[in-house]
Chains A and B, each alone.
Chain A
Amino acid sequence: MKEPLIRFSNVSFTYAHGQAAGWQALTDVNLEIHEHEFVAVLGRNGSGKSTLAKHVNALLTPTSGRVLVDGLDTSDPEHVWEIRQRVGMVFQNPDNQLVATTVEEDVAFGPENLGIPSAEIRSRVTEALEAVDMLPYRLHPPHRLSGGQKQRVAIAGMISMRPKCIVLDEPTAMLDPAGRREVMRTIQRLNQEEGITVLHITHHMDEVIAADRVVVMDQGRIVLEGSPREVFSQAELLRGLNLDVPQVTDLARRLKNRGLAIPEGVLTVKEMVMQLCPSD
């Protein structure tokens, strides 16, 4: 079995470690993420999911335990910059990631930092903007873009560095439904067509449906792991964790409790219709 791209081994992390008010955000986390996977991390605010994300590109390093990225130890300062070329990260606030005065300039920022020659930067920028469907906006200033467009530019800014994996820390939290759809579509396409490994942190249940694997966190620990269907079937558990489920999933659970022969892991309206009308 091939070595995973990212491996967390018994990772614990405490903010303000050693001080009186230190707070343990991660406790004994073990996680493997393989290349080309689309993994979603679910959890309420304060569950540690964001902290987990920041460990993948060495923005944070474990208080105990180890994180290996493509074989490199994140705690080793020598490797930090290489790790950040292999693992890109997109954050929650669309505005506070864009640094330049035009879209193409911003997407060029990463390659510039890597010392890529000027001519090659140009082709990477075009490529990246095409991958996120923002090429027509290359000369636009960031403040004229919608939230969804800004996030796509931020993603392009990562793609241009040709990472193996992208970590997205609640990228849709500040977007309207249209923006959320744009970003999710983009992420899925990048994973499926370009083979980029995706680690998607969110608290929106409907965003994990497309994932290969879902990891549910609570109070710094992983409490549930499995396919979306497996995880959604644990409706009671999820409710207890203050995570909501899509209305159809909730409905499936209720109908099951009322005696109908419906499995619990129903994810979409389509699936529900198929369950209720099996003959069609």
Chain B
Amino acid sequence: MRFRDLTIGQHIPGDSVVHRLDPRTKIIGTALLITLLFTVDGFLGYLLAALAIAAVIHLSELPWRFVLRGLRPLLMILLLTVGLNIFLTEGEVVFRFLFLTVTREGIARGLMMGTRLVLLIVGTSLLTLTTSPIQLTDGIESLLGPFRRIGVPAHELAMMMTIALRFIPTLLDETEKIMKAQMARGADFQSGGLMQRAKNLVPLLVPLFVSAFRRADELAIAMEARGYRGGQGRTKFRELRFGRIDAVALSVAVAFTVVVGVFF
């Protein structure tokens, strides 16, 4: 019960402009943002990118603490990145502490790397916060559609994603059940060294896998009973539609990326 209430990708429903954008617009927008963050150079560039993200957060009407919450699990990596850059970059020494040297270049790079990481995380989490998993799947399926000619199985990928999303809470529930059943027989999932703990996972993983395969089998039969035979001839219940806000959002995003990316 604790597990299954975690919403995957932390989607927060809402009715803001950002929520109402076509998922494809948002996916492309996020891709542009990522490109921008890797081509930008220098303080001003990052500042402009940060301002753009701030603007989107404001338009999404999401509380800031939700948006920044995505940073928490990555705090360690953040500190490590910044730290490594600060202490290991060669250049004009500014500060010395035991065997650690801090250089001016190091500080600059550390801050830039850190900023880039923060903006990346916040920017991409905006995508999952404002777009439901179904919409994301639809968006990806649609964007991959043209690539079907070169063999990209867009429909199958989307179907796999949908089924995975559908079953994650169910599988988490089942994991908890199996764990408890084995604990009731004296299993210990907590103690022991790495090797011991890996061995201890067998009574959990084997039943889980067996069950997952059985589910897959039964689900396949149920899908066939409902006339499923791949993507051929299928229609869609939900249709994505580009609206005016999407045209505006995309043009702004492209223009911004080009200008800032080239000049900064």
Chain A residues near B (Cβ < 8 Å): 57, 59, 81, 84-85, 88-89, 91, 93, 95-102, 104-105, 108-118, 121-122, 125, 141-143, 154, 157-158, 161
Contact B162 A113 (CB under 8 A): no
Contact A101 B227 (CB under 8 A): no
Neighbour of A113 across the interface among B163, B218, B219, B234, CB < 8 A: B234
> Which B153-179 residues have C-beta < 8 A from chain A?
162-163, 165-166, 169-170, 173
With known contacts A84-B227, A93-B218, A96-B218, A118–B237 Cβ distance under 8 A:
yes
Neighbour of B134 across the interface among A96, A102, A111, CB < 8 A: A102
Residues of B within 8 A of A143 (CB): 4, 166, 169-170, 173
Contact B234 A99 (CB under 8 A): no
Report the bound CA distance from A84 to B225 in whole Å: 6
Contact A99 B222 (CB under 8 A): yes
With known contacts A101-B166, A141-B169, A89–B235 Cβ distance under 8 A:
no
Residues of A within 8 A of B228 (CB): 109, 113
Contact A158 B226 (CB under 8 A): yes
Hey, what's the 0/1 contact readout for B226-241 against A, CB within 8 Å counting as 1? 1111000111111100
Contact B173 A113 (CB under 8 A): no
Contact B227 A161 (CB under 8 A): yes
Neighbour of A57 across the interface among B214, B225, B237, B239, CB < 8 A: B225
CB B245 to nearest CB in A, in angstroms, measures 22
Contact B166 A100 (CB under 8 A): yes
With known contacts A99-B222, A100-B162, A109-B226, A117–B4 Cβ distance under 8 A:
no
Neighbour of A81 across the interface among B173, B221, B229, CB < 8 A: B229
User: For residue A97, which residue of chain B has the nearest CB?
Assistant: B222
CB B59 to nearest CB in A, in angstroms, measures 24
Contact B226 A84 (CB under 8 A): yes
Contact B237 A121 (CB under 8 A): yes
Residues of A within 8 A of B233 (CB): 115
Residues of B within 8 A of A89 (CB): 222, 225
CB B152 to nearest CB in A, in angstroms, measures 21
Residue tally, chain B, CB below 8 Å to A: 30
Contact B234 A101 (CB under 8 A): no
With known contacts A101-B166, A143-B173, A113–B227 Cβ distance under 8 A:
yes
CB A214 to nearest CB in B, in angstroms, measures 24
Contact B224 A105 (CB under 8 A): no
Residues of B within 8 A of A84 (CB): 224-227
Residues of B within 8 A of A113 (CB): 226-229, 234
Give the one of B224, B235, B237, B239 with max A CB within 10 A: B237
With known contacts A118-B237, A121-B235, A59–B221 Cβ distance under 8 A:
yes
Residues of A within 8 A of B226 (CB): 84, 88, 109-110, 113, 157-158, 161
Contact B237 A96 (CB under 8 A): no
Residues of B within 8 A of A154 (CB): 222
User: For residue B219, which residue of chain A has the nearest CB?
Assistant: A96
Hey, what's the 0/1 contact readout for B136-166 against A, CB within 8 Å counting as 1? 0000000000000000000000000011011
B223 interface contact, C-beta 8 A: yes
Residues of B within 8 A of A118 (CB): 235-239
Report the bound CA distance from A236 to B167 in whole Å: 45
Residues of B within 8 A of A125 (CB): 237
Contact B227 A110 (CB under 8 A): yes
Residues of A within 8 A of B227 (CB): 81, 84-85, 110, 113-114, 161
Contact B215 A96 (CB under 8 A): yes
Contact B224 A108 (CB under 8 A): no
Contact A91 B133 (CB under 8 A): no
Residues of A within 8 A of B219 (CB): 96-97, 99
